[in-house]
Amino acid sequence: MLQTFLRDQPENNDPAKRQWWKEAVVYQVYPRSFMDSNGDGIGDLKGIISRLDYLKDLGVDVLWLSPVYPSPNADNGYDVSNYRAIADEFGTMDDFDELLAGVHRRGMKLLMDLVVNHTSDQHPWFLQSRSSKDNPYRDYYIWRPGKNGQEPNNWQSYFSCSAWEYDDMTDEYYLHLFTRHQPDLNWENPKVRDEIYDMMTWWLDKGIDGFRMDVINGLAKAPGLPDAPSHGQRRYVWGGEFFLNVPRVHDYLQEMHRRVLSKYDIMTVGETGFVTTEHAKLYAGEDRNELSMVFQFEHMGLDGGEDKWDCKPWSLLELKKVMSQWQNDLYGVAWNSLYLTNHDQPRALSRFGDDRNYPVESAKMLATFLHLQQGTPFIYQGEEIGMTNMIFDNLVDYRDVEIFNLWRDRAETGETDLGRLMHAISLKARDNARTPMQWDDSAHAGFTRGVPWIKVNPNYPQVNVQRSLTDDNSVWHYYRKLIALRKKHPIMVYGKYDLILADHPEIYAYTRTLGSEVWLVVCNFFANTPVFELPIDLLYGATDLPEDPPELIISNYPEDASQSLSQGHFTLRPYECRVYRLTSGRGARLGLAN
């Protein structure tokens, strides 16, 4: 079969399709928690500047900054009150310019977070908009009269409760898909679009290298804002089908591309919850003139039920299915983003690995599993040193509005199993991944001289950058090696992905193929020790192993000669991963190249 893959694959590394952002590795900085330079307990731009050499040394190419704009922080900066300035707590525009120059001087690039589905309710546009029905800014937002003394429709916001807020100033409701302090912009209004495009142009002219676009698939709302079909008792219902992936969103993105994005050599990644590969081909298709790539969430949903708090164990077979579908469906037609965690998700090591018994092994295995797939890998700050979920003892230690709203919605409205809710929160809270970066074993992990805005994970004496740098076997050094490998081997970027052993319950294995080169990736997702059998006939179209032994490219364990692949099988140690090159310019001899 692999022989057929080889013959049939379109040349995906065709120079026309080569792009710097496909070959790059992105590092997400959550500024509030990265590095505090002035002791106020809040990370800031000067703090990031002081760590640029660290990031360069790791080898990443692109930094994505979560929002640093002025914000009342109802949702940690995702409620922007001024799109063209820097929040005081993060620094000044001069600091920003210095940061950008420092990034560029080191040969790296910078992406800004673009949050334009909504603004803060303190944004001057909204203050104007709410002031009267005939204010010129009224139509910048989505206002509706109530219906029978209630909200205009039954939509539930992302963060519990209704998606509508009543404003007595004009006796109408405004729409907010997130908190009530984040009113949704009315993208139907061409003036809104002009304002946003001007603002994007302003940042791009400053020299930034692209945008990560917050909930960008939510810009268009279904005409008429219809009620969501409701089953059961709930007064407010999730109405995603009416505000996510509504076809009109593509008109906006194509217009944005025509008027702004197409004029620069930049990278864009859209945050698009609830997308399928069919949607993604529309947002990120090579010929669509919309975005470079999107963040999908199907793999993040595997341990949830009706909502994410409805926790269940994820299954490897499902993970294989989801990941493989994204790899296969987008191959040659659109580009994948690859991530396992970010500021909205728990730590991947605690979620998909074993942060107690095999923290180092499983962190490296997860990195391998992800970085060897086709797409642009994203590393979330701290992932490269194996940071884990935070165990907060008390609800009051959380800082995230999502948790407070959830608690109000559930605990105060009749949820009986509070233990279960607390457990779900401990697994899924966004604050899990928002605790300060662990730099060293000094007080507060070296993040701040003051009192950090959110507690530091108490495991910082063991898990920190300083320690990682001095230990050759650390997760950090492994990431660095993986990133360097990607720079050397185009197959890691452009090779075609093919899942093998699809039904194996413990091993996730796949090949990458580029021209006559074939790599084999084998990952053990558990603490058990399964035997991996090389599917010789599948890979080589023969019954015997070829003479040239497969070459081990990288692994998270020391090499064990008695367990090499030249026997055609080996026993995997807990969370072991191995990457082999099966052929290299030797394809002809193996019968692969023709």
Q: Which residues bind Ca ion (CB under 5 A)?
A: 36, 38, 40, 42, 44
Residue 42 binds which entry of ligand GLC, Ca ion, none, CB below 5-8 Å type-dependent: Ca ion
214 near ligand GLC (CB under 6 A): yes
DSSP secondary structure letters along 357-419:
T-HHHHHHHHHHHHHTSSSEEEEETTGGGT------SSGGG---HHHHHHHHHHGGGT---HH
Among 36, 44, 61, 75, binds ligand GLC (CB under 6 A): 75
Dump the DSSP string for 478-516: HHHHHHHHHHH-HHHHHPEEEEESTT-SSEEEEEEEETT
Binding mask 8-47 for ligand GLC (x = CB under 6 A): ----------------------------------------
Question: How far is the C-alpha of 206 from the C-alpha of 184, rounded, in Å?
Answer: 27
Nearer to ligand GLC, 78 or 352 (CB): 78
Region for 294 from its dihedrals, namely left if φ exceeds 0, alpha if ψ lies in -120 to 50, beta otherwise = beta
- How far is the C-alpha of 530 from the C-alpha of 339, rounded, in Å? 26
- Pairing between β-strand 26-29 and β-strand 62-65 as defined by DSSP bridges: parallel
Residue of 279, 324, 266 whose CA lies nearest to 112: 266
The span from the CA of 160 to the CA of 426, in Å, is: 18
Q: Is 540 in the site for ligand GLC (CB under 6 A)?
A: no
Binding marks (x or -) toward ligand GLC, 167..206, rule CB under 6 A?
-----------x----------------------------
Closer to ligand GLC by CB, 212 or 573: give it.
212
Picked from Ca ion, ligand GLC, none, the partner binding residue 36 (CB below 5 to 8 A depending on kind) is Ca ion
Residue 221 backbone class (left: φ over 0; alpha: ψ -120 to 50; beta: rest) = beta
Sketch the per residue contact string, 343 through 372, with ligand GLC: x for CB under 6 A, - otherwise.
xx----------------------------
If one asks whether residue 271 binds ligand GLC (CB under 6 A), the answer comes out as yes
36, 165, 214, 344: the catalytic one is 214
Show the tokens assigned to 574: 């807990």
Rounded CA separation 327/521 (Å): 15
| Minimal distance, residue 268 CB to Ca ion, in Å | 29
Nearer to Ca ion, 41 or 152 (CB): 41
Contact between 347 and 388 under an 8 Å Cβ cutoff? The reply is: yes
Residues whose CB is less than 8 angstroms from the CB of residue 99 and which lie 6 or more positions away in sequence, other chains included: 45, 48, 49, 52, 110
- Residue closer to ligand GLC by CB (options 75, 384) is 75
- Whole-number minimum distance, CB 30 to Ca ion, in Å? 14
Minimum distance from CB of 593 to ligand GLC (Å)? 45
Q: How far is the CB of 115 from ligand GLC (least distance, A)?
A: 6
- Contact yes or no for 52/106 (Cβ under 8 A): yes
Q: How far is the CB of 322 from Ca ion (least distance, A)?
A: 39
Question: Which of Ca ion, ligand GLC, none binds 40 (CB below 5-8 Å, type-dependent)?
Answer: Ca ion
Rounded to an integer, what distance in angstroms lies between the CA atom of residue 288 and that of residue 282? 7
H-run or E-run covering 197: helix 190-206
Of the candidates 271, 298, 303, 431, the residue annotated as catalytic is 271
Minimum Å gap between C-beta 34 and Ca ion is 10
Q: Examine the residue annotation and report whether 214 is marked as an active-site residue of this protein.
A: yes
Q: How far is the CB of 58 from ligand GLC (least distance, A)?
A: 23
Q: How far is the CB of 66 from ligand GLC (least distance, A)?
A: 8
| Residue 61 vs 271, nearer CB to ligand GLC | 271
User: Which residue, 36 or 113, is less far from Ca ion as judged by CB?
Assistant: 36
**Residue whose C-beta lies closest to ligand GLC:** 78
172 binds, among ligand GLC, Ca ion, none (CB under 5 to 8 A by kind): none
CA 163 to CA 151: how far, in whole Å? 9
The pair of structure tokens assigned to 147 is: 């219906």
Both structure tokens of 512:
């990458």
* 116 near ligand GLC, rule: CB under 6 A: no
Q: How many CB atoms lie within 10 A of CB 56?
A: 16
For ligand GLC, the closer of residues 214 and 431 by Cβ is 214
- Asked if residues 362 and 355 have their Cβ atoms less than 8 Å apart, the reply is yes
Give the footprint of ligand GLC on this chain (CB under 6 A): 75, 78, 115, 178, 214-215, 271, 343-344
Residues recognised as catalytic: 214, 271
